[in-house]
């Protein structure tokens, strides 16, 4: 059975033209004049940047550094107990939550029965990590947090797999360089103050409405 193509076309919709229509270039386009306009924009930006006629959006990294959010998710830190031992109890929750499957843990037995396990090996493959922070969220011990440190450059693939010793490096525990972590005591204080002020406002409003009703 043959189908008449006209029966399939929708009313009011025309079939596209069978042969493409060539667009005629304007005289200016044939002389490549629009290219000059583009080059003028590039030149103008270059001169403005060169002579400091406007605020630059780029910075001279690494001499200059941007201030990122205090919740920035940078290089991980394995936190320690006061005695210097790693806080991690090798529960594998972080590795399970990790969407990039870039955490490798090998558990060992802790002599302290209250702790039971510790990570003999704890490695993060930084080139696979997507810095989502799920490992920090999953950890029940606050044993893994993230820092503001974004200086991560490696000369080989092996270097990008960061082990326990590097993750526990004291320089990353600098309070000025802490990033994403489960608790922010300074924010808790601010929130408590805001709650108290809100309660004061509600109490004052109730007192006012009570006074007008009497």
Residue in 49, 100, 152, 160 binding ligand SF4, rule: CB under 6 A: 100
Contact 110, 117 (CB under 8 A): yes
The Cα–Cα gap between 181 and 142 comes to: 8
Instruction: Spell out a b/e string for 5-30, using b for 16 or more CB atoms within 10 Å of the CB, else e.
Output: eeeeeeeeeeeeeeeeeeeeeeeeee
- Binding flags for ligand SF4, 75-94, as an x/- string (CB under 6 A): -------------xxxxxxx
Closest CB to ligand SF4 among 102 and 168? 102
Per CB under 6 A, does 168 bind ligand SF4? no
Contacts of 110 (CB under 8 A, 6+ apart): 89, 116, 117, 118
Residue in 74, 75, 77, 129 binding ligand SF4, rule: CB under 6 A: 129
Number of amino acids touching ligand SF4 (CB under 6 A): 27
Q: Which of 95, 102, 97 is nearest to 119 (CA)?
A: 95
Residue in 80, 104, 110, 132 binding ligand SF4, rule: CB under 6 A: 132
Contacts of 102 (CB under 8 A, 6+ apart): 124, 125, 126, 128, 129
Per CB under 6 A, does 152 bind ligand SF4? no
Kindly state the DSSP code that residue 93 receives in the 8-state scheme: H
Residue in 72, 77, 133, 168 binding ligand SF4, rule: CB under 6 A: 133
The Cα–Cα gap between 10 and 31 comes to: 44
Binding part of the chain for ligand SF4, among 49-57, 97-105, 193-201, 202-210 by CB under 6 A, reads: 97-105
Per CB under 6 A, does 103 bind ligand SF4? yes
CB of 184 to ligand SF4, least distance (A): 18
Closest CB to ligand SF4 among 94 and 178? 94
Per CB under 6 A, does 98 bind ligand SF4? yes
Which residues contribute to the site for ligand SF4 (CB under 6 A)?
88-94, 97-100, 102-103, 105, 124, 129-135, 138-139, 141, 143-144
């Amino acid at each position: 059975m043959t189908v008449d193509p006209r029966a399939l076309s929708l009313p009011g919709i025309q079939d596209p033209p069978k042969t493409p229509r060539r667009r005629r270039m304007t005289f200016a386009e044939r002389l490549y004049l629009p290219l000059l306009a583009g080059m003028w924009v590039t030149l103008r930006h270059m001169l403005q940047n060169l002579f400091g006629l406007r605020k630059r959006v780029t910075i001279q990294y690494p001499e200059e550094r941007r201030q990122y959010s205090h919740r920035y998710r940078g290089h991980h830190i394995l936190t320690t107990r006061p005695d210097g031992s790693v806080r991690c109890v090798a529960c594998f929750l972080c590795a399970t939550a990790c969407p990039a499957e870039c955490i490798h843990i090998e558990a060992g037995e802790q002599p302290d029965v209250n702790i039971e396990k510790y990570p003999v090996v704890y490695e993060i493959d930084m080139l696979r990590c997507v810095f989502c922070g799920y490992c920090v969220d999953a950890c029940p011990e606050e044993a893994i947090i993230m820092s503001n440190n974004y200086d991560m450059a490696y000369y080989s693939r092996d270097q990008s797999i960061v082990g326990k010793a590097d993750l526990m490096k004291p320089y990353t525990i600098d309070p000025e360089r802490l990033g994403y972590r489960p608790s922010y005591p300074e924010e808790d204080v601010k929130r408590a103050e805001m709650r108290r002020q809100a309660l004061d406002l509600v109490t004052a409003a109730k007192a006012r409405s009570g006074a007008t009703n009497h």
